[in-house]
Structure 1
Amino acid sequence: MIENFPFYLSLIVAIILLIMLADKIKVAYPVLLVLAGLLISFIPGIPVVRIDPELIFIIFLPPLLYEAAWAISWKELWKWRRIVGSFAFVVVFLTAVSVAVVANYFIPGFSLALGFLLGGIVSPPDAVSANAILKFVKVPKSMSSILEGESLLNDASSLIIFRFAMIAVATGQFIWYEAAFSFSWMVIGGVGIGLLIGWLFMKGQKYLPTDANMDTILTIVAPYVMYMAAEGVHSSGVLAVVSGGLLLSNNRHSFLSTSSRIRGVNVWESLTFVLNGLVFVLIGLDLPEITSGLEGVSLSSAIGYGLLVTAVLIVVRILSAYGAVLVTLIARNYIPVADSRNPGFKAPLVIGWTGMRGVVSLAAALSIPTQIYAGGPAFPQRNLILFITFIVILTTLLVQGLTLPYLIKKINISSFDDHIPDDKVNELLKREMAKFTLGHIADNYEEVFRKSPFLQQVHEKWRGKTGATEDIRISKEIRKVYLEILNEQRRWLIAKNSEKNHHYDEHTIRKHLLQIDLEEERIRLMH
Structure 2
Amino acid sequence: MTNLEVILILMAVLAALSSVTNKLKIPYPVLLVIAGLIIGFIPGIPDINVPPDLIFLIFLPPLLYDAAGNVSWHEFKKYRRPISTLAIWLVFFTTTAVAVVAHYCIPGFSWPLAFVLGAIVSPPDAVAATSATKGLGLPKRVLAILEGESLVNDASALVAYRYAVAAVLSGTFVLWQASFQFLLVAGGGIAVGLAIGYVFSRIHNYLLDNATIETTLTILKPFVSYLLAEHLGFSGVLAVVSTGLFISWRSHEIYSFQTRIQINGFWNILIFLLNGFVFIIIGSQLPIILKGLGNDSLPSLFGYGLLISFVAIAARIAWIFPLSYFSSLFRKLKNKNGEVINPSKNELFIISWAGMRGVVSLATGLGLPLTLTNGEAFPQRNVILLFTFIVIFVTLVLQGLTLPFLVRKLKVQESEAETWDEEKRLRLAMARSSIFFIESELSLNLPDQVLNDLKEMFEHQINYLNGVVRLGDKPKKGEDLEATTIFRQYLASESQILDHQRNTIIRWHKEGTFSEEAIRNIEQELDIRSLNLEAQQKRLTTPNMPGSSQRLTS
Q: TM-score, normalised by structure 1?
A: 0.92
Percent identity of the aligned residues?
Answer: 41
Q: Is the 1:33–1:277 Cα contact (8 Å) retained in structure 2?
A: yes
- In the other structure, the counterpart of 2:361 is 361
- SS of the aligned residue for 2:444 comes to helix
Q: Is the 1:346–1:413 Cα contact (8 Å) retained in structure 2?
A: yes
Give the superposition deviation at 1:266. 0.6
Give the superposition deviation at 1:400. 1.3
**CA 1:409 to 1:120, structure 2 compared with 1: closer, same or farther past 3 Å?**
same
Pairing 1:459–2:459 present = no
Q: Distance in 2 between matches of 1:102 and 1:193?
A: 37
Q: Is the 2:63–2:127 Cα contact (8 Å) retained in structure 1?
A: no
Pairing 1:326–2:325 present = yes
Give the superposition deviation at 1:155. 1.6
Pairing 1:444–2:454 present = no
**2:519 aligns with one of 504, 509, 520:** 509
Give the superposition deviation at 1:209. 7.2
Give the superposition deviation at 1:397. 1.5
- In the other structure, the counterpart of 1:426 is 423
Give the superposition deviation at 1:344. 4.7
For structure 1, the 5+ residue unaligned runs are: none
- In the other structure, the counterpart of 1:412 is 411
Q: Distance in 2 between matches of 1:44 and 1:330?
A: 51
Give the superposition deviation at 1:349. 1.5
Pairing 1:496–2:508 present = yes
- In the other structure, the counterpart of 1:278 is 277
- SS of the aligned residue for 1:464 comes to helix
**CA 1:459 to 1:393, structure 2 compared with 1: closer, same or farther past 3 Å?**
same
**CA 1:485 to 1:136, structure 2 compared with 1: closer, same or farther past 3 Å?**
closer
Aligned partner of 1:351: which letter? I
Q: Distance in 1 between matches of 2:99 and 2:476?
A: 62
**CA 1:226 to 1:468, structure 2 compared with 1: closer, same or farther past 3 Å?**
farther
- In the other structure, the counterpart of 2:104 is 105
**CA 1:78 to 1:104, structure 2 compared with 1: closer, same or farther past 3 Å?**
same
Q: Is the 2:155–2:237 Cα contact (8 Å) retained in structure 1?
A: yes
Alignment coverage as a number of residue pairs: 518
Q: Distance in 2 between matches of 1:328 and 1:433?
A: 41
Q: Is the 1:329–1:342 Cα contact (8 Å) retained in structure 2?
A: no
- SS of the aligned residue for 1:413 comes to coil
**CA 1:135 to 1:192, structure 2 compared with 1: closer, same or farther past 3 Å?**
closer
Aligned partner of 1:505: which letter? S
Q: Is the 1:194–1:243 Cα contact (8 Å) retained in structure 2?
A: yes
**CA 1:331 to 1:21, structure 2 compared with 1: closer, same or farther past 3 Å?**
closer
Q: Distance in 2 between matches of 1:156 and 1:467?
A: 56
**CA 1:327 to 1:449, structure 2 compared with 1: closer, same or farther past 3 Å?**
farther
**The 10-residue stretch of structure 1 (272-281 or 351-360) with the greater mean CA deviation from structure 2:** 351-360
- In the other structure, the counterpart of 1:521 is 531
- In the other structure, the counterpart of 2:84 is 85
Alignment of 1:213-224 (within 5 A): 213-224=212-223
Alignment RMSD: 2.4
Q: Distance in 2 between matches of 1:386 and 1:471?
A: 73
Q: Distance in 2 between matches of 1:350 and 1:234?
A: 36
- In the other structure, the counterpart of 1:486 is 498
**CA 1:214 to 1:162, structure 2 compared with 1: closer, same or farther past 3 Å?**
same
**CA 1:256 to 1:331, structure 2 compared with 1: closer, same or farther past 3 Å?**
closer
Deviations 1:398-423 (A, max 9, x none): 21111122222222223xx4996122
- In the other structure, the counterpart of 2:468 is none
Deviations 1:239-287 (A, max 9, x none): 0001011111111133222211110011001000000001111111122
Q: Is the 2:430–2:501 Cα contact (8 Å) retained in structure 1?
A: yes
- SS of the aligned residue for 1:380 comes to coil
Q: Distance in 1 between matches of 2:377 and 2:209?
A: 52
- SS of the aligned residue for 1:447 comes to coil
- In the other structure, the counterpart of 2:55 is 56
Give the superposition deviation at 1:36. 0.8
**CA 1:251 to 1:15, structure 2 compared with 1: closer, same or farther past 3 Å?**
same
Give the superposition deviation at 1:208. 4.8
Q: Distance in 1 between matches of 2:21 and 2:214?
A: 33
Give the superposition deviation at 1:491. 1.6
Aligned partner of 2:352: which letter? G
**CA 1:471 to 1:493, structure 2 compared with 1: closer, same or farther past 3 Å?**
farther
Pairing 1:255–2:267 present = no
Give the superposition deviation at 1:345. 3.0
**CA 1:25 to 1:425, structure 2 compared with 1: closer, same or farther past 3 Å?**
same
Q: Distance in 1 between matches of 2:329 and 2:356?
A: 29
Q: Distance in 1 between matches of 2:218 and 2:229?
A: 17
Give the superposition deviation at 1:463. 0.8
Q: Distance in 2 between matches of 1:251 and 1:329?
A: 32
Deviations 1:369-399 (A, max 9, x none): 10123x6221111111100000111111121
Give the superposition deviation at 1:171. 1.4
- In the other structure, the counterpart of 2:43 is 44
Deviations 1:295-333 (A, max 9, x none): 46311121111111101011111112213321456874x
Aligned partner of 1:442: which letter? E
Q: Is the 1:51–1:286 Cα contact (8 Å) retained in structure 2?
A: no
Aligned partner of 1:448: which letter? N
Give the superposition deviation at 1:138. 3.1
Q: TM-score, normalised by structure 2?
A: 0.88
**CA 1:398 to 1:460, structure 2 compared with 1: closer, same or farther past 3 Å?**
same
Q: Is the 2:94–2:312 Cα contact (8 Å) retained in structure 1?
A: yes
Give the superposition deviation at 1:497. 2.6
**CA 1:423 to 1:471, structure 2 compared with 1: closer, same or farther past 3 Å?**
farther
Aligned partner of 1:28: which letter? P
- SS of the aligned residue for 1:189 comes to helix
Q: Is the 1:30–1:129 Cα contact (8 Å) retained in structure 2?
A: yes
Q: Distance in 2 between matches of 1:152 and 1:468?
A: 51
**CA 1:342 to 1:265, structure 2 compared with 1: closer, same or farther past 3 Å?**
closer
Q: Distance in 1 between matches of 2:127 and 2:228?
A: 25
**CA 1:223 to 1:231, structure 2 compared with 1: closer, same or farther past 3 Å?**
same
**CA 1:209 to 1:442, structure 2 compared with 1: closer, same or farther past 3 Å?**
closer
Aligned partner of 2:524: which letter? L
